[in-house]
Amino acid sequence: MPKIKYIEHDGKQHTIEVANGLSVMEGAIQNNVPGIDADCGGSMACATCHVYVKEEWFNKLPSKIEGEDDMLDMAFEPKKNSRLSCQITVSDDMDGLEVNLPKKQV
């Protein structure tokens, strides 16, 4: 299973094996990684699963679909490498993906 590294705002790291087909958000929620809220449950209707994707990974991920950037406008401190983690579906080629979590979600 691909390993995803979640890095909390204070630097604390969680490396989690996430099954293919789950989202990066679900990988965090199912394993109690703090710092991802996912209030809307993954329907791209909020911005509380916001993560910063490590630069070298950002361009390797499938690109954002329409609407994701609109939601990111509402996120806490969005940056160029911001993504909604509910919209990143884990696959084998994402082994080693690193995401940084923002200071807060709401």
Partner 1 sequence: MINTDVVIIGAGPVGLFCAHQLGIIGLKCEIIDNLDKIGGQCIELYPDKPIYDIPAIPECSGEELTNNLIEQIKPFNIKFHLNERVEEIKNENNKWVLKTSKSKEFNAPNIVIAGGVGSFEPRKFAIEECKKFEDKSIFYSVKDKTIFKDKSVAIFGGGDSALDWAIELSKNSKVTLVHRRNEFRGSQSSVDTVKKLEKDGKLEIFTEYQLSAVKGNSSIENIDIKHDDGKIKTLKTDYILGFFGLIMQLGPILNWGLNLDKKTIPVNTENFETNKKGIFAIGDICTYPGKLKLILSGFHEGALAARGCFKYARPDEKYRFEFTTSSKKVKDRLGVKE
- Name residues contacting partner 1, limited to 45-104 (CB under 8 A): 45-48, 69-70, 73-74, 76-80, 103
- Of the candidates 78, 85, 71, which has an alpha carbon nearest to the alpha carbon of residue 27? 85
Nearer to partner 1, 55 or 70 (CB): 70
Non-local (6+) Cβ contacts of 52 within 8 A are 79, 81, 82, 83, 99, 100, 101, 102
Per DSSP, 86 falls in state G
Per CB under 8 A, the list member of 41, 62, 65, 93 interacting with partner 1 is: 41
Q: Decide if residue 16 touches partner 1 (CB under 8 A).
A: no
Which residues of this protein are in contact with partner 1, per CB under 8 A?
37, 39-41, 43, 45-48, 69-70, 73-74, 76-80, 103, 106
